[in-house]
């Protein structure tokens, strides 16, 4: 094992989840001639895998085999009856769990591969065979609650890894989630606990209804022993690289420094990018590099470098792959090597001020930020 390399965990079964086509993410309409693919498709991961295999990072990556999670492992954070329901629905041919979230005949295997590969990456870091690991998986997971699928997510891959780490002896785990949407599933799972710090940086979108009652507001700080250990950094649309950097520097870094985790977990989506149909945050490859670099620096400072990143959203079929490459350059502490093919002019850091002020007002009694 070499500290300068990143271990990438992959399992082919993640490609088996078939989300079909329709009106973007919902059911097809007869009013159009050509329904479009659901945004969460296998080809987005094929592009990500290809850019890692062909791009300038290829010599610094160690490819390792993922695995399928057992139902008992999924039940670390999900209700057994819910796990059974997903299995039976997939075996019966699939169905629609929410307006945006589908199950296909092979989704059970794909979802088990996503969670199991995240666990394999986490286990490698915990047993010392890797310092930094990345699980390249789908379907994504951070919206999955204990008994509720949502937002393309069936099982909460990063939460399963966090619980594994806790039960494996890591006293404090920090989850940093920069998918463009609120990590409501991870919030719900750990909302009453102080051993797992959940931080979600996301665009302001509010509740999605019964399947997603959480709002993502900074006022959702946790309850009971968990009060103060859920941090929502809700940012206005179009915040861009400068706004994300400011949120990292003024909120995320000070809070993680005070929490002092033993392991950093990252829910690493690319749907905050400037060319993603599922978000409007205008983050470029440079911005994703900064997210990865900051996570690495926090892990180096508090965790002996131990860090696990798990793939979440990212629906620009090609540009998301470039954003992932930039993220991993940051996680490796490498210089920027792959140019952004679609870069644009610098943005305005003051667009993040309102969101940062709201976090300080909501969590000022818990953290200095």
Give residue 202's Cα distance to chain centre: 11
Q: Which pairing describes strands 95-98 and 101-103: parallel, antiparallel, or unpaired?
A: antiparallel
C-alpha dihedral sign at 4, 247, 211, 323: negative
CA dihedral sign of residues 183, 185, 187, 189: negative
231: DSSP letter: E
Closest among 97, 197, 158 to 311, alpha carbons compared: 158
Cα 329 from chain centroid (whole Å): 17
Residue 24 to residue 37: CA distance in whole angstroms:
6
Is the Cα torsion angle 245, 163, 113, 67 positive or negative in sign?
positive
What is the residue-wise DSSP string for 28-71? Answer: --TTSSSPEEPSS-HHHHHHHHHHHHHSTTGGGEEEEE--PPPH
Q: Give the whole-angstrom CA distance, residue 231 versus residue 177.
A: 10
* Cα–Cα distance measured from residue 159 to residue 100, given in angstroms and rounded to the nearest whole number: 21
Q: In 3-state terms, what secondary structure has residue 354?
A: helix
Catalytic residue among 7, 78, 142, 143: 143
Angle between helices 240-247 and 285-302 (to 10 degrees): 10
Give the list of residues 6+ apart from residue 17 with CB closer than 8 angstroms, or none: 40, 42, 104, 106, 107, 110, 111, 138, 139
User: Which tokens in the block code for residue 183?
Assistant: 């990590």
Distance CA 187, CA 197 (A): 9
Give the position of tokens 């088996």. Answer: 16
Is 143 a catalytic site residue? yes
Judge whether 226 and 189 are in contact, CB under 8 Å. no
Residue positions annotated with a catalytic role: 143
């Amino acid at each position: 094992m070499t500290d300068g390399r990143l271990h990438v965990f992959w399992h082919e079964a993640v490609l088996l989840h078939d989300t079909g086509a329709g009106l973007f993410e919902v059911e097809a309409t007869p009013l159009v001639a050509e329904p479009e693919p659901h945004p969460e498709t296998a080809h987005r991961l094929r592009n990500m895998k290809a850019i890692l295999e062909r791009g300038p990072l290829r010599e610094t990556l160690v490819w390792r085999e993922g695995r399928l999670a057992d139902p008992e492992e999924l039940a670390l954070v999900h209700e057994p009856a819910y796990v059974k329901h997903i299995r039976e629905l997939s075996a019966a041919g699939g169905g629609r769990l929410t307006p945006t979230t589908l199950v296909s005949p092979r989704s059970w295997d794909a979802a088990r591969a996503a969670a199991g590969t995240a666990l394999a990456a986490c286990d490698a870091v915990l047993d010392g065979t890797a310092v930094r690991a990345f699980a390249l998986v789908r379907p994504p997971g951070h919206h999955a609650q204990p008994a509720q699928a949502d937002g393309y997510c069936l099982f909460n891959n990063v939460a399963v890894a966090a619980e594994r780490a806790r039960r494996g002896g890591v006293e404090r785990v920090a989850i940093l989630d920069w998918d463009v949407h609120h990590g409501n599933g991870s919030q719900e799972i750990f909302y009453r606990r102080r051993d797992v710090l959940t931080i979600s940086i996301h665009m302001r979108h509010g509740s999605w209804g019964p399947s997603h009652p959480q709002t993502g507001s900074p006022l959702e700080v946790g309850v009971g022993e968990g009060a103060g250990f859920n941090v929502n950094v809700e940012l206005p649309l179009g915040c861009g690289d400068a706004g994300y950097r400011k949120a990292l520097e003024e909120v995320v870094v000070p809070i993680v420094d005070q929490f002092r985790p033993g392991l950093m977990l990252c829910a690493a989506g690319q749907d905050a990018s400037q060319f993603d149909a599922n978000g409007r945050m205008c983050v470029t490859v440079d911005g994703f590099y900064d997210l990865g670099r900051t996570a690495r620096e926090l892990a180096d400072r508090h965790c002996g470098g131990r860090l696990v990143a798990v793939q979440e959203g990212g629906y620009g079929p090609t540009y998301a792959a470039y954003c992932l490459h930039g993220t991993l350059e940051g996680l490796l502490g490498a210089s920027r090597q792959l140019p952004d093919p679609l870069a644009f002019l610098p943005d305005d850091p003051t667009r993040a001020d309102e969101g940062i002020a709201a976090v300080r007002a909501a969590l000022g009694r818990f953290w200095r930020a």
